[in-house]
Amino acid sequence: MPIDNHLYDTMANSWWDEGGCLHVLRGLNPARFGYMRRVLVDELGIDPRGRKTLDVGCGGGLLAEEFARLDCDVTGIDPSERSIEVAQAHARLESLAIDYRTGSGEALPFPDASFELAYCCDVLEHVNDVARVIAEIARVLKPGGIFFYDTINRTFQSKLVMIKLFQDWSWTSFMPPNLHDWRKFIKPEELTAILAANGLQNHGLTGLKPATNPLQTLRLLRARKRGEITYLEAARRLDLRVSRDTSILFIGWAQKGERPAHGRPITRSKI
């Protein structure tokens, strides 16, 4: 069944509602934002303050607000006008200065070399032209800029978990049946090839996996289905962590242009 991205308009009010479906993504932030922050600050030694940062497919601003709290200068873009409205309203409540725009990743409305950092999370598996989105992100990144991504691998395991357990089977599902299409999931080698073709050298790729075992995961899904716990609580109990297992979810980062001649990752002075 084809995916229906218009669902993000109809479900937009759930981005910041703990009882809402889309709020489950906030429960993934400790793992995915934790990874990005570690790479940026600890591994690369980059001071994020004031960095012009682009969130491609920002939705309701769940990750944009995390980067804004690092004092990044964040711009978020998403094709869902209603999601942008929700993101703007929540940022005002939190007194966060985030520039939200309505638009698509395939045609970013920014000049070349506008941003020092960019990220695209929970998005690439939804777009119609992954290569075009990556090309646009590469275009608006400054030389030496850093790009973070996460997405879903196209494997038997991802079909079982993301499609069957999460969408199709009535006794465990908590997502709309046409939120994801397994055929649009992306293998890591496919994505890194697209990155390389657009001048983005991949430097890190790892998996994301729940700390729970399969039986515990099923119990959590059943508890969510029965309304005993919220979406956010279910995500927190799954306790997503960085893992060597990339069979379902993977996350990574790339840099625009060549590595510095001295062979070390870029530092604050390089971007």
Helix (H) or strand (E) run with residue 260 in it: none
What letters, b where the CB count within 10 A reaches 16 and e where it falls short, cover 84-105?
bbbbbebbeeeebebebeeebb
Asked whether the beta carbons of 254 and 201 are under 8 A apart, the reply is yes
Query: pTM of the prediction?
Result: 0.91
Q: Residue 204: pLDDT above 50? A: yes
pLDDT tens digits along 126-149: 999 999 999 999 999 999 999 999
Q: What is the largest CA-CA distance in the chain?
A: 57
Strand, helix or coil for residue 241:
strand
Lowest-confidence region among 109-118, 170-179, 191-200, 205-214: 170-179
Q: What is the CATH number of domain 7-270?
A: 3.40.50.150
Kind of pairing, strands 200-210 and 99-102?
A: unpaired
Q: 137-141, 148-152, 161-165 — which is least confidently predicted?
A: 161-165
The ranges assigned to domains in the chain are 7-270
